[in-house]
């Protein structure tokens, strides 16, 4: 199989260095971090010191002006640790939130925030989801009202990745209640410690325990007018544009999950015996594994093509919507079959496949549910007109 264009010699050299970093600095601590349900700040700072946080940022802001392929490798290798929450936390910060700051913040704010984002001193989050609003972002309820030189923010956000530990958050707020739903939304930055910004307890999740997820409250939270990102009322468009990169990161995570779950299941079915025979040699099991291996191979080929297109600057909305739903669905099917093939051991928490099973379950839900991905695609095919512009 031909190597994807994004897998350059530089990218693969970085992969080798990052694997060594993970083996030395991260792997010995993963079990403890999972039990604590928190990734310590020392991890972020170690990532920053080694140049693995936001490497795509310009050198002036602490990055190395690297291409997206480096971000893809970091996401892949974090996923191969088997602790998908770690991968989620890093992707949210480095490849989902910080791009908004680099694209939309003013020069003074970039100088204030971006070097810390690259060093691990500043951890970021983005606040989209609300208790009554998930994929339907045009119906946000959080408000930001202009009062002199400030925005006064009121509302609640939930299921916020990095929400407990974040130092700043980008909030999607309704700044013009009279405007059409998708035209009255703006993005505003709020720093931790701002009066009125309250962090509730970490949410108890099914999986991805190593990464914190929070419920956040904003009660008459006052921030400078200058904390507006981009143009007022353009927030919904910014979200739709940047969600394509987010969905690509989830596609990478899902593909790697499917690959690593399958890779550790194959040795097990060759060694585990039933009725004196390796269970992998039973025709039903062998055929199932062959089918999954084929789909995983197809997924890798498709994913590499979408990454190449993204690096070239092509609009990937259609193909990344396909990749996100199909690969996250595939990861869940591989995890389900892996648990089944492990039998009772697959249900035991000390077996990594049990953690895989609950960790992948979130992938079809966040960044727009898989059902929403299909609605987007249906609309692009002229089959559904209900999705907002």
User: Which residue, among 243, 278, 92, has the nearest Cα to 168 in the 3D structure?
Assistant: 92
Place of tokens 């928490």: 349
Question: Cβ(324)–Cβ(251) under 8 Å?
Answer: yes
3-state class (DSSP) for residue 160: strand
Active site residue 246: yes
Measure the CA–CA gap between 53 and 95, rounded to whole angstroms: 9
Q: What are the start-end ranges of the E strands in the chain?
A: 124-127, 143-147, 150-161, 168-174, 185-191, 197-202, 213-224, 228-229, 273-274, 277-278
CA angle at 94 for the pair 93 and 95, rounded to the nearest 5°: 105
CB atoms within 10 A of CB 2: 6
User: Which residue, among 189, 192, 165, 214, has the nearest Cα to 43 in the 3D structure?
Assistant: 165
Using H for helix, E for strand and C for coil, what is the string for 243-285?
HHHHHHHHHHHHHHHHHHHHHHHHHHHHHCEECCEEHHHCHHH
3-state class (DSSP) for residue 69: helix
3-state class (DSSP) for residue 218: strand
State how beta strands 150-161 and 185-191 pair: unpaired
First vs last C-alpha separation in the chain: 39
Residues 6+ apart with CB under 8 A from 216: 127, 156, 157, 158, 160, 163, 169, 197, 198, 199, 200
What 228-231 contacts at long range (C-beta under 8 Å, 24+ apart), as own/partner pairs, is: 228/151, 228/186, 228/187, 228/188, 229/100, 229/101, 229/104, 229/105, 229/170, 229/186, 229/187, 229/188, 229/189, 230/103, 230/104, 230/186, 230/187
Catalytic member of 246, 259, 295, 337 = 246
User: Catalytic positions, please?
Assistant: 246
């Amino acid at each position: 199989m031909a190597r994807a264009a994004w897998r350059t010699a530089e990218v693969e050299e970085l992969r080798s260095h990052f694997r060594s970093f993970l083996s030395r600095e991260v792997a010995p601590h993963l079990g403890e971090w999972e039990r604590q349900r928190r990734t310590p700040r020392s991890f972020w700072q170690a990532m920053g010191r080694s140049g693995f946080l936001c490497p795509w940022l310009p050198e002036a802001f602490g990055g190395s002006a690297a291409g997206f392929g480096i971000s893809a490798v970091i996401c892949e290798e974090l996923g191969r640790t088997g602790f998908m929450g770690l991968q989620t936390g890093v992707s949210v910060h480095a490849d989902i939130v910080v791009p908004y700051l680099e694209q939309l913040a003013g020069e003074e704010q970039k100088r204030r925030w971006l070097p810390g984002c690259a060093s691990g001193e500043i951890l970021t989050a983005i606040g989209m989801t609300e208790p009554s609003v998930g994929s339907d972002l045009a119906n946000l309820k959080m408000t930001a009202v202009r009062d002199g030189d400030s925005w006064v923010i009121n509302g609640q956000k939930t299921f916020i990745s990095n929400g407990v530990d974040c130092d700043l958050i980008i909030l999607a707020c309704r700044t013009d209640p009279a405007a059409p739903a998708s035209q009255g939304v703006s993005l505003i930055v709020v720093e931790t410690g701002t009066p009125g910004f309250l962090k509730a307890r970490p949410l108890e999740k099914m999986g991805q325990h190593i990464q914190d997820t929070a419920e956040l409250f904003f009660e008459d939270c006052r921030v400078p007018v200058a904390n507006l990102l981009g143009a007022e009322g353009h927030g919904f468009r910014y979200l739709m544009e940047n969600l394509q990169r987010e969905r690509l990161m989830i596609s990478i995570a899902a593909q790697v999950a499917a690959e690593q779950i399958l890779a550790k299941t194959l040795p097990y079915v060759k060694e585990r015996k039933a009725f004196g025979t390796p269970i992998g040699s039973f025709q039903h099991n062998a055929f199932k594994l062959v089918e999954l291996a084929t789909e995983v191979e197809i997924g890798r080929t498709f994913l590499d093509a979408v990454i190449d297109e993204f690096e070239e600057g092509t609009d990937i909305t259609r193909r990344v919507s396909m990749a996100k739903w199909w690969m996250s669905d595939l990861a869940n099917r591989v995890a389900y079959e892996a648990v089944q093939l492990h039998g009772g051991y697959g249900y035991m928490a000390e077996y990594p496949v049990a953690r895989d099973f609950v960790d992948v379950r979130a992938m079809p839900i966040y960044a727009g549910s898989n059902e929403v991905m299909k609605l987007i695609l249906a609309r692009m095919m002229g089959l559904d007109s209900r999705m907002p512009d």
